[in-house]
């Protein structure tokens, strides 16, 4: 009786808290979180525990932790990695990309290899011109700004507003021509730069794209364009 009375006097919150902890630690939730984020099992378990079992908050917690890990490794030298190729459309488009990490061990890791493959495929599809905005020449930036300024003036925008709009225009331009600024083709909610930060946190080593080359069949070749009507007329002796 004493034992049952003691239990009955415990506050309801005691039972709720213990039920929540049990839910937080459920294997299915940990597995689901791990599948979505790619984080380690213990990190997923801690994320759910720290956030009272709230799945979305746990995802955000892991993403922030990954960004923090990436920031700590920003000064590390990433000289290992892999060069990978991707061929698309029966040889119509070809890509070579070099993605670096810190150790040969990680370079051979399946997750790292998949990341490099995904980036090569992204380059084939999105056709960036540069790795980052740092590679865009001053001349090209000035040329783009001049074009945008002329367009905005023609629309009657005042000069002080034009300069503010230019920032957004250039950000959009970088998102089109710079790999790191582009939305990832498999998940456009994140840029390639955010993807690399995320993977740096998950894998535990600095990961960066050093360079790439993209080839498209016939690119840069001036092709002869035949006038079909004129050709028929010549064959018929009418021209």
How far, in Å, CA of 158 to CA of 232, rounded?
A: 54
183-184 vs 187-191, strand pairing mode: antiparallel
DSSP state of 64: H
pLDDT category of residue 69 using cuts at 50, 70 and 90: low
Structurally, at CATH architecture level, domain 80-136+178-216 sits in: 2-Layer Sandwich (3.30)
**What predicted TM-score, i.e. pTM, was given to this entire model?**
0.64
Sorted by sequence, the CB contacts under 8 Å of residue 212 that are 6+ apart come out as: 95, 96, 97, 98, 120, 123, 128, 131, 179
Give the pLDDT of residue 143. Answer: 94
Point out which residues pair with 212 in neighbouring strands: 97
Nearest CA-CA partner of 191 in 97, 122, 136: 122
Query: Distance between CA atoms of 150 and 206, rounded to whole angstroms?
Result: 42
What are the structure tokens assigned to 165, written together? 């709009």
More confident: 54 or 100:
100
Domain with CATH 3.30.479.20 in the chain: 80-136+178-216
What are the two backbone dihedrals, phi and then psi, of residue 159, each rounded to the nearest 5 degrees? Answer: -60, -40
For 2-72, CATH number out of 1.10.8.10, 1.20.1630.10, 3.40.190.10, 2.40.50.100 equals: 1.10.8.10
- In this structure, the number of other CB atoms found within 10 A of the CB of residue 95 comes to 22
Residues 141-173 have pLDDT tens digits of 999 999 999 999 898 888 888 888 998 999 999
**Predicted confidence band of residue 114 (pLDDT cuts 50, 70, 90):** very high
First to last CA, the chain: 114
- pLDDT value, residue 62: 74
DSSP for residue 207: -
| Mean pLDDT value across residues 10-31 | 54
Could you report the per-residue pLDDT of 30-65, keeping only the tens digit for each?
A: 877 776 665 667 778 888 888 888 888 887 877 777
Phi, psi of 131 (to 5 degrees): -75, -50
Q: What pLDDT, in 10s, does the model give residues 215-229?
A: 999 888 877 666 666
Q: What is the pLDDT of residue 6?
A: 43
| Cα dihedral value 169, 98, 65, 26, nearest 10 | 120
Q: Are strands 80-88 and 183-184 parallel, antiparallel or unpaired?
A: unpaired
Highest mean pLDDT, choosing among 36-45, 96-105, 197-206: 96-105
Boundaries of CATH 1.10.8.10 in the chain? 2-72
Q: State what percent of residues in the chain have pLDDT above 70.
A: 75
User: Around Cβ 11, how many Cβ atoms within 10 Å?
Assistant: 8
47/25 Cα distance (integer angstroms): 10
The two tokens of residue 211 are 């360079």
């Amino acid at each position: 009786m004493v034992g049952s009375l003691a239990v009955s006097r415990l506050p309801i919150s005691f039972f709720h808290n213990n039920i929540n902890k049990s839910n937080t630690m459920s294997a299915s939730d940990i597995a689901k979180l791990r599948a979505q984020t790619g984080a380690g099992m213990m990190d997923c378990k801690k994320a759910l525990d720290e956030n009272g079992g709230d799945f979305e908050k746990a995802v955000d917690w892991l993403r922030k932790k990954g960004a923090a890990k990436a920031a700590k490794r920003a000064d590390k030298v990433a000289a290992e990695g892999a060069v990978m190729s991707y061929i698309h459309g029966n040889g119509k488009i070809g890509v070579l990309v070099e993605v670096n990490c810190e150790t040969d061990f990680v370079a051979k890791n399946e997750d790292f290899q998949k990341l490099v493959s995904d980036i090569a495929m992204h380059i084939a599809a999105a056709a960036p011109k540069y790795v980052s905005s740092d590679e865009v020449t001053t001349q090209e930036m000035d040329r783009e700004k001049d074009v945008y300024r002329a367009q905005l003036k023609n629309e009657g925008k005042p000069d002080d507003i034009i300069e503010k709009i230019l920032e957004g225009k250039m950000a959009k331009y970088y998102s089109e021509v710079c790999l790191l600024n582009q939305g990832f083709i498999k998940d456009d909610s994140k840029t390639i730069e955010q993807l690399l930060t995320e993977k740096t946190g998950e894998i535990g080593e600095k990961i960066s794209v050093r360079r790439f080359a993209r080839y498209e069949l016939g690119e840069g070749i001036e092709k002869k364009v035949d006038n079909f009507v004129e050709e028929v007329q010549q064959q018929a002796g009418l021209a």
